[in-house]
Amino acid sequence: MPTSSPHLERTAEVGEGAVTLTCMGDVTPIHAARPKALEFFAGIGLARMGLESAGFRVVWANDYEPDKKAMYDAQFPESTDHVFALGDIAAVSAQDLPVGASLAWASSPCTDLSLAGGRAGLAGVQSGTFWHFIRLLRDLGERRPEVVVLENVVGLATSHGGDDLTAAIRAFNGLGYSIDVLVIDARRFVPQSRPRLFLVGSLNPPAESDGCESELRPDWLQWVFSDSSLRTHRATLPPPPPPKIDGLSDLVEEVPMGDSRWWDRDRTGAFVTSLSAMQRERVSVLRQGEVKYRTAYRRTRRGVAVWEVRADDISGCLRTARGGSSKQAVVRLGEGQLHVRWMTPREYARLMGAGQYDLSTARTNQALFGFGDAVAVPAVNWLAEHYLMPLVRGEMGSRQVEIAANG
Protein backbone atom coordinates (compact mmCIF):
# COMPACT_ATOMS: atom_id res chain seq x y z
CA MET A 1 0.00 0.00 0.00
CA PRO A 2 1.52 3.36 -0.91
CA THR A 3 2.36 5.63 1.98
CA SER A 4 1.94 9.35 2.11
CA SER A 5 5.04 11.26 1.16
CA PRO A 6 6.59 13.89 3.48
CA HIS A 7 7.37 15.93 0.38
CA LEU A 8 5.12 18.43 -1.34
CA GLU A 9 5.51 19.13 -5.02
CA ARG A 10 4.30 22.33 -6.65
CA THR A 11 4.96 24.13 -9.90
CA ALA A 12 6.22 27.71 -9.96
CA GLU A 13 6.42 29.98 -12.97
CA VAL A 14 9.92 31.27 -13.66
CA GLY A 15 10.15 33.60 -16.62
CA GLU A 16 8.36 31.92 -19.50
CA GLY A 17 8.98 28.41 -18.27
CA ALA A 18 8.14 26.41 -15.18
CA VAL A 19 10.08 24.44 -12.61
CA THR A 20 8.93 21.87 -10.09
CA LEU A 21 9.92 22.62 -6.53
CA THR A 22 10.14 19.82 -3.99
CA CYS A 23 9.56 21.19 -0.51
CA MET A 24 10.58 19.21 2.54
CA GLY A 25 7.95 19.24 5.24
CA ASP A 26 10.43 20.30 7.93
CA VAL A 27 12.21 23.00 5.94
CA THR A 28 11.45 26.63 6.76
CA PRO A 29 10.55 28.66 3.63
CA ILE A 30 13.21 31.21 2.72
CA HIS A 31 10.84 34.17 3.13
CA ALA A 32 9.89 33.01 6.64
CA ALA A 33 13.53 33.26 7.74
CA ARG A 34 13.59 36.96 6.95
CA PRO A 35 12.85 39.17 9.99
CA LYS A 36 9.35 40.64 9.96
CA ALA A 37 8.89 44.41 9.90
CA LEU A 38 5.92 46.71 10.52
CA GLU A 39 5.71 49.89 8.41
CA PHE A 40 3.85 52.73 10.16
CA PHE A 41 2.96 55.86 8.14
CA ALA A 42 3.99 53.89 5.06
CA GLY A 43 3.14 56.46 2.40
CA ILE A 44 3.98 55.02 -1.02
CA GLY A 45 6.24 52.31 0.42
CA LEU A 46 9.78 53.63 -0.07
CA ALA A 47 10.81 52.50 3.42
CA ARG A 48 9.56 49.02 2.52
CA MET A 49 11.71 49.03 -0.62
CA GLY A 50 14.81 49.89 1.41
CA LEU A 51 14.07 47.42 4.19
CA GLU A 52 13.24 44.50 1.95
CA SER A 53 16.33 45.03 -0.21
CA ALA A 54 18.33 44.57 3.01
CA GLY A 55 16.59 41.32 3.92
CA PHE A 56 13.56 42.32 6.00
CA ARG A 57 10.01 41.20 5.18
CA VAL A 58 7.39 43.92 5.64
CA VAL A 59 4.18 42.17 6.70
CA TRP A 60 1.98 45.11 7.73
CA ALA A 61 1.67 48.76 6.71
CA ASN A 62 -0.54 51.70 7.58
CA ASP A 63 -1.34 55.10 6.11
CA TYR A 64 -4.41 57.32 6.09
CA GLU A 65 -4.16 58.77 2.56
CA PRO A 66 -5.96 56.78 -0.19
CA ASP A 67 -3.82 58.32 -2.96
CA LYS A 68 -0.67 57.01 -1.34
CA LYS A 69 -2.16 53.57 -0.82
CA ALA A 70 -3.14 53.50 -4.50
CA MET A 71 0.49 54.04 -5.48
CA TYR A 72 1.61 51.50 -2.88
CA ASP A 73 -0.77 48.90 -4.30
CA ALA A 74 0.49 49.52 -7.85
CA GLN A 75 4.09 49.01 -6.76
CA PHE A 76 3.69 45.94 -4.56
CA PRO A 77 1.80 42.85 -5.75
CA GLU A 78 -1.07 41.73 -3.55
CA SER A 79 0.06 39.06 -1.09
CA THR A 80 -1.49 37.00 1.69
CA ASP A 81 1.68 37.72 3.70
CA HIS A 82 1.05 41.46 3.84
CA VAL A 83 -1.74 43.70 5.13
CA PHE A 84 -2.19 47.41 4.40
CA ALA A 85 -4.42 49.08 6.99
CA LEU A 86 -5.84 52.23 5.38
CA GLY A 87 -7.06 54.76 7.91
CA ASP A 88 -6.17 56.83 10.94
CA ILE A 89 -3.57 55.19 13.18
CA ALA A 90 -5.73 56.24 16.12
CA ALA A 91 -8.14 53.47 15.08
CA VAL A 92 -5.44 50.77 15.06
CA SER A 93 -5.13 48.51 18.10
CA ALA A 94 -2.31 46.22 19.15
CA GLN A 95 -4.51 43.24 18.34
CA ASP A 96 -4.50 44.33 14.69
CA LEU A 97 -0.73 43.91 14.38
CA PRO A 98 0.97 40.68 13.27
CA VAL A 99 2.89 38.74 15.88
CA GLY A 100 6.60 38.07 15.73
CA ALA A 101 7.80 41.35 14.24
CA SER A 102 11.46 42.18 14.86
CA LEU A 103 11.30 45.78 13.62
CA ALA A 104 8.78 48.61 13.74
CA TRP A 105 9.53 51.45 11.31
CA ALA A 106 7.72 54.78 11.59
CA SER A 107 8.12 57.65 9.14
CA SER A 108 5.95 59.87 11.29
CA PRO A 109 4.26 62.82 9.50
CA CYS A 110 6.65 65.76 9.54
CA THR A 111 4.35 68.64 8.55
CA ASP A 112 4.45 70.24 11.99
CA LEU A 113 8.22 69.85 12.30
CA SER A 114 9.54 70.60 8.81
CA LEU A 115 11.08 73.89 7.80
CA ALA A 116 8.26 73.99 5.25
CA GLY A 117 5.64 73.49 7.96
CA GLY A 118 4.35 75.51 10.88
CA ARG A 119 6.82 74.07 13.45
CA ALA A 120 4.02 73.13 15.84
CA GLY A 121 6.13 70.22 17.03
CA LEU A 122 4.96 66.85 18.29
CA ALA A 123 1.79 68.47 19.60
CA GLY A 124 0.75 69.35 16.05
CA VAL A 125 -2.18 67.60 14.42
CA GLN A 126 0.04 65.68 11.98
CA SER A 127 3.20 64.94 13.95
CA GLY A 128 1.17 64.23 17.09
CA THR A 129 0.33 60.88 15.53
CA PHE A 130 3.71 59.80 16.92
CA TRP A 131 2.01 59.22 20.26
CA HIS A 132 -0.30 56.64 18.73
CA PHE A 133 2.81 54.79 17.55
CA ILE A 134 4.04 54.82 21.15
CA ARG A 135 0.62 53.68 22.37
CA LEU A 136 0.69 50.66 20.08
CA LEU A 137 4.20 49.70 21.16
CA ARG A 138 3.13 49.97 24.78
CA ASP A 139 0.00 47.90 24.23
CA LEU A 140 2.01 45.17 22.52
CA GLY A 141 3.70 44.52 25.85
CA GLU A 142 6.17 41.66 25.61
CA ARG A 143 5.29 41.25 21.93
CA ARG A 144 6.79 44.62 20.99
CA PRO A 145 9.57 44.47 18.37
CA GLU A 146 13.14 44.33 19.54
CA VAL A 147 14.11 47.27 17.29
CA VAL A 148 12.20 50.45 16.42
CA VAL A 149 13.01 53.33 14.08
CA LEU A 150 11.50 56.80 13.96
CA GLU A 151 12.38 58.76 10.81
CA ASN A 152 11.65 62.46 10.60
CA VAL A 153 13.01 65.78 9.40
CA VAL A 154 16.05 67.20 11.19
CA GLY A 155 13.72 69.89 12.56
CA LEU A 156 12.72 67.40 15.24
CA ALA A 157 16.11 67.99 16.90
CA THR A 158 15.44 71.73 17.35
CA SER A 159 11.64 71.79 17.64
CA HIS A 160 10.74 73.65 20.84
CA GLY A 161 14.40 74.01 21.74
CA GLY A 162 15.01 70.26 21.62
CA ASP A 163 12.14 69.45 23.96
CA ASP A 164 10.29 67.46 21.32
CA LEU A 165 13.26 65.20 20.62
CA THR A 166 13.80 64.74 24.35
CA ALA A 167 10.13 63.82 24.79
CA ALA A 168 10.33 61.29 21.97
CA ILE A 169 13.44 59.65 23.44
CA ARG A 170 11.85 59.52 26.91
CA ALA A 171 8.77 57.88 25.44
CA PHE A 172 10.91 55.13 23.90
CA ASN A 173 12.96 54.83 27.10
CA GLY A 174 9.75 54.24 29.03
CA LEU A 175 9.13 51.17 26.87
CA GLY A 176 12.60 49.75 27.46
CA TYR A 177 14.31 51.06 24.33
CA SER A 178 17.74 52.66 24.36
CA ILE A 179 18.02 55.27 21.58
CA ASP A 180 20.69 56.13 19.04
CA VAL A 181 20.26 59.28 16.94
CA LEU A 182 21.67 59.70 13.44
CA VAL A 183 21.43 62.19 10.59
CA ILE A 184 21.60 60.63 7.13
CA ASP A 185 21.42 62.81 4.03
CA ALA A 186 20.07 61.14 0.90
CA ARG A 187 22.78 63.10 -0.92
CA ARG A 188 25.21 60.39 0.12
CA PHE A 189 23.41 58.06 -2.29
CA VAL A 190 21.50 60.19 -4.81
CA PRO A 191 21.98 63.75 -6.14
CA GLN A 192 19.38 65.27 -3.82
CA SER A 193 19.96 67.26 -0.64
CA ARG A 194 17.61 65.54 1.82
CA PRO A 195 18.91 65.22 5.42
CA ARG A 196 16.73 63.17 7.75
CA LEU A 197 16.86 62.30 11.45
CA PHE A 198 16.73 58.64 12.45
CA LEU A 199 16.06 57.46 15.98
CA VAL A 200 17.06 53.81 16.35
CA GLY A 201 15.72 52.12 19.46
CA SER A 202 16.83 48.74 20.79
CA LEU A 203 15.75 46.59 23.72
CA ASN A 204 19.26 45.07 23.62
CA PRO A 205 21.50 47.94 22.50
CA PRO A 206 25.05 47.30 21.33
CA ALA A 207 27.95 48.00 23.64
CA GLU A 208 29.84 51.17 22.78
CA SER A 209 33.47 51.00 21.71
CA ASP A 210 36.26 53.41 20.83
CA GLY A 211 35.09 53.34 17.23
CA CYS A 212 31.56 54.59 17.89
CA GLU A 213 32.25 58.11 16.64
CA SER A 214 30.53 58.77 13.34
CA GLU A 215 29.96 61.73 11.07
CA LEU A 216 26.31 60.69 11.14
CA ARG A 217 26.19 62.08 14.69
CA PRO A 218 27.18 65.73 14.13
CA ASP A 219 28.27 68.04 16.92
CA TRP A 220 24.83 69.66 17.17
CA LEU A 221 23.38 66.28 18.20
CA GLN A 222 25.89 65.49 20.92
CA TRP A 223 23.73 67.05 23.64
CA VAL A 224 21.44 64.04 23.31
CA PHE A 225 24.18 61.63 24.35
CA SER A 226 25.41 63.96 27.11
CA ASP A 227 22.03 64.06 28.85
CA SER A 228 22.36 61.50 31.65
CA SER A 229 18.59 61.41 32.12
CA LEU A 230 18.19 59.81 28.68
CA ARG A 231 18.97 56.18 27.90
CA THR A 232 21.08 56.34 24.71
CA HIS A 233 23.73 54.36 22.91
CA ARG A 234 26.05 54.84 19.93
CA ALA A 235 26.55 51.85 17.69
CA THR A 236 29.79 51.39 15.80
CA LEU A 237 29.02 51.90 12.11
CA PRO A 238 31.08 51.83 8.92
CA PRO A 239 31.83 55.16 7.24
CA PRO A 240 28.93 56.18 5.01
CA PRO A 241 29.49 57.19 1.38
CA PRO A 242 30.61 60.82 0.97
CA PRO A 243 27.98 63.35 -0.16
CA LYS A 244 27.60 63.55 -3.91
CA ILE A 245 28.71 66.72 -5.67
CA ASP A 246 26.98 66.01 -8.99
CA GLY A 247 24.70 63.55 -10.73
CA LEU A 248 21.45 65.43 -11.29
CA SER A 249 22.06 65.80 -15.03
CA ASP A 250 22.45 62.02 -15.32
CA LEU A 251 18.98 61.45 -13.86
CA VAL A 252 17.07 64.09 -15.82
CA GLU A 253 14.43 62.59 -18.09
CA GLU A 254 14.90 63.16 -21.81
CA VAL A 255 12.07 65.53 -22.77
CA PRO A 256 12.23 66.71 -26.42
CA MET A 257 12.52 70.47 -26.80
CA GLY A 258 9.26 70.56 -28.74
CA ASP A 259 7.37 68.93 -25.88
CA SER A 260 4.59 71.07 -24.41
CA ARG A 261 5.97 70.53 -20.90
CA TRP A 262 8.69 73.09 -21.60
CA TRP A 263 7.40 76.54 -20.67
CA ASP A 264 6.56 79.00 -23.42
CA ARG A 265 8.45 82.23 -24.10
CA ASP A 266 6.27 84.43 -21.87
CA ARG A 267 6.41 82.11 -18.87
CA THR A 268 10.15 81.60 -19.27
CA GLY A 269 10.60 85.37 -19.52
CA ALA A 270 8.67 85.84 -16.26
CA PHE A 271 10.94 83.24 -14.66
CA VAL A 272 14.08 85.15 -15.67
CA THR A 273 12.58 88.51 -14.63
CA SER A 274 11.93 87.21 -11.09
CA LEU A 275 15.59 86.30 -10.56
CA SER A 276 17.69 88.47 -8.28
CA ALA A 277 20.82 90.17 -9.63
CA MET A 278 22.98 87.39 -8.16
CA GLN A 279 20.74 84.72 -9.66
CA ARG A 280 20.77 86.39 -13.09
CA GLU A 281 24.57 86.45 -13.03
CA ARG A 282 24.62 82.75 -12.11
CA VAL A 283 22.23 81.88 -14.93
CA SER A 284 24.24 83.98 -17.39
CA VAL A 285 27.37 81.96 -16.63
CA LEU A 286 25.52 78.62 -16.76
CA ARG A 287 24.07 79.46 -20.19
CA GLN A 288 27.55 79.32 -21.67
CA GLY A 289 29.18 76.09 -22.83
CA GLU A 290 27.63 72.66 -23.04
CA VAL A 291 24.14 71.78 -21.90
CA LYS A 292 23.66 71.18 -18.21
CA TYR A 293 20.68 70.95 -15.86
CA ARG A 294 19.90 72.70 -12.60
CA THR A 295 16.88 72.79 -10.29
CA ALA A 296 14.93 75.83 -9.17
CA TYR A 297 12.47 76.66 -6.38
CA ARG A 298 9.98 79.46 -6.17
CA ARG A 299 10.30 81.29 -2.87
CA THR A 300 8.78 84.36 -1.28
CA ARG A 301 11.26 87.11 -0.47
CA ARG A 302 9.88 90.24 1.21
CA GLY A 303 6.41 89.34 0.07
CA VAL A 304 7.44 88.82 -3.55
CA ALA A 305 7.52 85.43 -5.33
CA VAL A 306 10.94 84.84 -6.89
CA TRP A 307 12.74 81.91 -8.45
CA GLU A 308 16.12 80.68 -7.20
CA VAL A 309 18.37 78.38 -9.25
CA ARG A 310 20.86 76.07 -7.58
CA ALA A 311 24.47 76.52 -8.65
CA ASP A 312 25.42 72.82 -8.42
CA ASP A 313 24.45 69.59 -10.19
CA ILE A 314 22.39 68.53 -7.15
CA SER A 315 18.64 68.70 -6.63
CA GLY A 316 17.15 70.65 -3.79
CA CYS A 317 15.07 68.72 -1.29
CA LEU A 318 11.93 67.34 -2.92
CA ARG A 319 8.89 68.52 -1.02
CA THR A 320 5.14 68.47 -1.10
CA ALA A 321 2.99 71.54 -1.71
CA ARG A 322 1.84 71.26 1.90
CA GLY A 323 3.27 73.78 4.35
CA GLY A 324 3.82 76.64 1.89
CA SER A 325 6.53 74.96 -0.16
CA SER A 326 6.44 74.37 -3.89
CA LYS A 327 7.28 71.74 -6.43
CA GLN A 328 10.65 71.88 -8.13
CA ALA A 329 11.48 73.03 -11.65
CA VAL A 330 14.19 71.76 -14.00
CA VAL A 331 16.26 74.37 -15.81
CA ARG A 332 18.13 73.41 -18.99
CA LEU A 333 21.09 75.73 -19.63
CA GLY A 334 23.82 75.80 -22.24
CA GLU A 335 24.64 76.82 -25.79
CA GLY A 336 23.38 80.31 -24.91
CA GLN A 337 19.88 79.03 -24.13
CA LEU A 338 17.63 78.66 -21.09
CA HIS A 339 14.54 76.46 -20.90
CA VAL A 340 12.34 75.62 -17.92
CA ARG A 341 9.76 72.95 -17.06
CA TRP A 342 8.38 71.27 -14.00
CA MET A 343 10.23 68.22 -12.72
CA THR A 344 8.55 65.00 -13.82
CA PRO A 345 7.29 62.17 -11.57
CA ARG A 346 9.96 59.86 -13.00
CA GLU A 347 12.66 62.36 -12.00
CA TYR A 348 11.20 62.53 -8.51
CA ALA A 349 11.33 58.73 -8.35
CA ARG A 350 14.94 58.61 -9.53
CA LEU A 351 16.00 61.24 -7.01
CA MET A 352 14.45 59.14 -4.25
CA GLY A 353 16.38 56.06 -5.36
CA ALA A 354 13.24 54.44 -6.79
CA GLY A 355 13.79 54.88 -10.50
CA GLN A 356 11.84 51.75 -11.44
CA TYR A 357 8.80 52.62 -9.32
CA ASP A 358 5.50 51.76 -11.03
CA LEU A 359 3.92 55.08 -12.03
CA SER A 360 1.50 53.62 -14.56
CA THR A 361 -1.63 54.52 -12.58
CA ALA A 362 -0.44 57.63 -10.74
CA ARG A 363 -1.53 61.17 -11.59
CA THR A 364 1.29 63.71 -11.80
CA ASN A 365 0.45 65.64 -8.63
CA GLN A 366 -0.33 62.40 -6.81
CA ALA A 367 3.16 61.10 -7.61
CA LEU A 368 4.93 64.37 -6.74
CA PHE A 369 3.18 64.49 -3.39
CA GLY A 370 3.92 60.84 -2.66
CA PHE A 371 7.63 61.11 -3.35
CA GLY A 372 7.98 64.55 -1.77
CA ASP A 373 6.59 63.18 1.49
CA ALA A 374 8.77 60.06 1.62
CA VAL A 375 12.16 58.77 2.74
CA ALA A 376 14.89 57.97 0.19
CA VAL A 377 15.19 54.24 -0.52
CA PRO A 378 19.01 53.96 -0.43
CA ALA A 379 19.21 55.79 2.91
CA VAL A 380 16.84 53.20 4.40
CA ASN A 381 18.74 50.38 2.76
CA TRP A 382 22.11 51.56 4.12
CA LEU A 383 20.72 51.92 7.64
CA ALA A 384 19.01 48.52 7.46
CA GLU A 385 22.02 46.71 6.05
CA HIS A 386 24.65 48.18 8.36
CA TYR A 387 22.67 48.72 11.55
CA LEU A 388 19.14 47.33 11.79
CA MET A 389 19.73 43.83 10.44
CA PRO A 390 22.91 43.23 12.49
CA LEU A 391 21.04 44.58 15.53
CA VAL A 392 18.07 42.25 15.01
CA ARG A 393 20.36 39.28 14.47
CA GLY A 394 22.44 40.04 17.56
CA GLU A 395 25.60 40.59 15.57
CA MET A 396 26.58 43.91 17.19
CA GLY A 397 27.03 42.74 20.78
CA SER A 398 24.75 44.08 23.49
CA ARG A 399 24.58 45.61 26.91
CA GLN A 400 21.84 45.36 29.50
CA VAL A 401 19.08 47.97 29.37
CA GLU A 402 18.42 49.24 32.89
CA ILE A 403 15.02 50.79 32.22
CA ALA A 404 12.20 48.31 32.68
CA ALA A 405 9.56 48.14 29.99
CA ASN A 406 6.16 49.35 31.05
CA GLY A 407 3.68 46.66 30.22
The yes-or-no verdict on residue 170 having pLDDT over 90 is yes
Mean predicted confidence (pLDDT) in 88-97: 95
Reported as a single tens digit per residue, the pLDDT across 109-130 is 754 433 333 334 444 444 468 8
> Is residue 399 very low, low, confident or very high in pLDDT (cuts 50, 70, 90)?
low
pLDDT in tens, 220-249: 999 999 999 999 999 999 999 999 999 999
The pLDDT value recorded for residue 262 is 98
- Are 161 and 300 in a shared domain? no
Check pLDDT > 70 for residue 42.
yes
Distance CA 188, CA 243 (A): 4
Say which range, 20-24, 50-54, 71-75, 143-147, has the weakest mean pLDDT: 20-24
Does position 407 have pLDDT exceeding 90, yes or no? no
More confident residue, 407 or 341: 341
Residue 214 within a domain: yes
- 156 in the same domain as 85: yes
154 domain-assigned: yes
Task: Give a yes or no: residue 381 inside a domain.
Answer: yes
CATH number (domain holding residue 199): 3.40.50.150
- For the chain, what is the HEC assignment? CCCCCCEEEEEEEECCEEEEEEEECCCCCHHHHCCEEEEECCCCCHHHHHHHHCCCEEEEEEECCHHHHHHHHHHCCCCCCCEEEECCHHHCCHHHCCCCEEEEEECCCCCCCCCCCCCCHHHCCCHHHHHHHHHHHHHHHHHCCCEEEEEEEHHHHCHHHHHHHHHHHHHHHCCCCEEEEEEEEHHHCCCECCEEEEEEEECCCCCCCCCCCCCCCCHHHHHHHHCCCCCECCCCCCCCCCCCCCCHHHHCCCCCCCCCCCCCHHHHHHHHHHCCHHHHHHHHHHCCCCCEEEEEEEEEECCEEEEEECCCCCECCCCCCHHHCCCCEEEEEECCEEEEEECCHHHHHHHCCCCCCCCCCCCHHHHHHHHHCCCCHHHHHHHHHHHHHHHHCCCCCCCCCCCCCCC
Question: What angle, 0 to 180 degrees and rounded to 10, lies between the N-to-C axes of helices 364-372 and 66-75?
Answer: 90
State how far Cα 390 lies from the chain centre: 20
Q: Is residue 268 part of a domain?
A: yes
- Whether 132 has a pLDDT exceeding 70, the answer reads yes
172 and 311 both lie in a single domain? no
Segment 213-222 shows an average pLDDT of 94
The pLDDT assigned to 83 comes to 97
Q: Are 43 and 68 a contacting pair, CB within 8 Å? A: yes
The reported pLDDT for the residue numbered 30 is 52
Q: What is the mean pLDDT of residues 146-155?
A: 94
Alpha carbons 327 and 318: distance in angstroms, whole number: 7
pTM for the structure as a whole: 0.86
pLDDT above 80: residue 275: yes
Query: Residues 147-174: what's their mean pLDDT?
Result: 91
The average pLDDT across 269-279 equals: 95
Range name among 76-90, 208-222, 362-376 with the lowest pLDDT average:
208-222
Asked if residue 300 and residue 228 are part of one domain, the reply reads: no
Question: Model confidence at 29, in pLDDT bands (50, 70, 90)?
Answer: low
Whether residue 359 is contained in a domain is answered as no
- Please indicate, yes or no, whether residues 158 and 51 belong to a single structural domain of this protein: yes
Whether residues 226 and 284 fall in one domain: no
Distance from the Cα of residue 159 to its chain's centroid: 20
Are the C-beta atoms of 231 and 204 separated by less than 8 Å? no
pLDDT at 196: 96
- In this prediction, residues 27-38 reach a mean pLDDT of 74
Whether residues 329 and 189 share a domain: the answer is no
Can you give the pLDDT at residue 362?
97
Asked if residue 213 has pLDDT above 90, the reply is: no
Listed as own residue / partner, the contacts of 115-124 with beta carbons closer than 8 Å and 24 or more positions apart are 115/153, 115/155, 116/319, 116/320, 116/322, 116/323, 116/324, 116/325, 117/155, 117/322, 117/323, 118/323, 119/155, 119/159, 121/159, 121/160, 121/163, 121/164, 122/159, 122/164, 122/167, 122/168
Confidence of residue 143 (pLDDT cuts 50, 70, 90): very high
Domain with 279, as residue range(s), is 254-343
Task: Mark whether 108 and 228 lie in a shared domain.
Answer: yes
On whether both 79 and 45 belong to a single domain, the answer is yes
Q: Is residue 364 part of a domain?
A: no
For residue 407, being part of any structural domain is answered with no
Question: Is 306:239 a contact under the CB 8 Å cutoff?
Answer: no
pLDDT, tens only, 306-316: 999 999 999 99
> Has residue 400 been placed in a domain?
no
Q: How much is the mean pLDDT over the chain? A: 86
User: Model confidence over 324-380: pLDDT tens digits?
Assistant: 457 899 999 999 999 999 999 999 999 999 999 999 999 999 999 999 999 999 999
If asked whether residues 104 and 128 sit together in one domain, one would say: yes
Edge-to-edge, what's the strand order for the sheet holding 195-202? 83-86, 57-63, 36-40, 101-106, 147-153, 195-202, 178-185
Is pLDDT above 60 for 22?
A: no
User: Domain check: are 295 and 237 in the same one?
Assistant: no
Instruction: Say yes or no: 132 and 160 in one domain.
Output: yes
Return phi, psi of residue 181, to 5°. Answer: -125, 125
Total domains in the fold of the chain: 2
State the pLDDT at residue 11. 38
